[in-house]
Copies of this chain bind each other. A is one copy, B any other.
Amino acid sequence: MIIVLKPRISRKEEQAVLKEIRKLGYVPHVMRGVARTVVGAIGDELTHANLETLLALFPRTVESVTPIQKRYKLVSREAHPANSTIRVGPHVIGGKQFHVMAGPCSVESERQLLATAEAVRAAGATFLRGGAFKPRTSPYEFQGLGEKGLKLLDKARRATGLPVENHADLVAEYADIIQIGARNAQNFQLLIAAARTGKPVLLKRGLSMKIEEWLLAGEYVLAHENPNLLFCERGIRTFETYTRNTLDLSTIPIIKRESHCPVVIDPSQGAGRADLVTAMCKGAVAMGADALLIEVHPNPAEALSDSAQQVSFEVFAKLMDELKPFIRAAGRE
């Protein structure tokens, strides 16, 4: 860590700081600069104490403390320079093949789910998605079909052959990819439980999660011995009110730079508006995303949740068609 001392402190005050640094297990290295003295504390920051305590201990002497090491290891590209690929049934995510995961926001009925599964498969989707337990802002809104929804997803999986992407719930048996939703992205007990199922984990970015925090949440999964992690950007909360969230597509090159894990983009949540989904999908493909997560509903206007952001079968089929030249331009299949 780098400790910057305040100007005009005495040698005695400096010694007190150095002594504490040694006590906390680091070797101090003093540099006298033009305006102030800087101390490099040599030691493994992941196993030693965080020196930010010095700020509180020496409020009149220490100006700032800056960590040097990245706090994440296993998710970092340093640890694993090549792209990770994740095999799910017949598919490989993170390689040359581009994937589309599509389906309704909520599973509402057998008829709705099977019709959607057939329609998205016909249009080229490779995974089925669909929520069974829906966390809703208000207690008075539809909360999902629960376990019945999971069983319907299983049925749709068997009927269409599409692997299923679904929220991490009590039972992982019905999901081929376990989704950790944005509101749970720092629910670390849930992350550990999901990791332990051994299934691929799709980790959505929390609404106000910094990239470093997102990578560290992913680190919880890899640290619990599950190497199959996907990062999914779904929009962050900003001051803008035109869209529900601001989809941060710059996460694609950033996650690719910092980590080896595949990147998925969810433009449905990201915009919260069906009319912006197609343009966002094109951007995501061009910027190097590995997969898309798209909400599709037979009749969006009658959807029991998030109706404004789901696209109809017709819009979805057209979108898949319009994406093709961009997928080719991106060197994907």
| A interface residues with partner B (beta carbon < 8 Å) | 2, 4, 6-7, 20, 29, 31-36, 38, 40, 42-47, 50, 52-57, 59, 66, 68-69, 71-72, 78, 135-141, 183-184, 186-188, 207-208, 210-213, 216-217, 219-220, 223, 236-243, 246-250, 252-254, 257, 270-271, 273-276, 279-280, 282-288, 300-303, 307-310, 325-326, 328-330
**Contact of A276 with B254 in the complex, beta carbons under 8 Å:** yes
**Contact of B239 with A252 in the complex, beta carbons under 8 Å:** no
**Contact of A72 with B138 in the complex, beta carbons under 8 Å:** yes
Known: A4-B68, A31-B42, A325-B328. 4 other contacts (CB 8 A): A2-B38, A36-B68, A52-B307, A250-B280
**Contact of A250 with B276 in the complex, beta carbons under 8 Å:** yes
A38 to chain B, nearest CB (A): 6
**Contact of B249 with A283 in the complex, beta carbons under 8 Å:** yes
**Contact of A53 with B308 in the complex, beta carbons under 8 Å:** yes
User: Within 8 Å CB of A54, what residues of B?
Assistant: 301
**Contact of B279 with A252 in the complex, beta carbons under 8 Å:** yes
* A20, B253: Cα distance in complex, Å: 28
**Contact of A239 with B239 in the complex, beta carbons under 8 Å:** yes
**Contact of A137 with B213 in the complex, beta carbons under 8 Å:** yes
User: Within 8 Å CB of A46, what residues of B?
Assistant: 140
**Contact of B243 with A241 in the complex, beta carbons under 8 Å:** no
A250 to chain B, nearest CB (A): 6
A20 to chain B, nearest CB (A): 7
Residue of B nearest to A59 (CB): B275
User: Within 8 Å CB of A273, what residues of B?
Assistant: 55
User: Within 8 Å CB of A246, what residues of B?
Assistant: 236, 238, 246, 248, 250
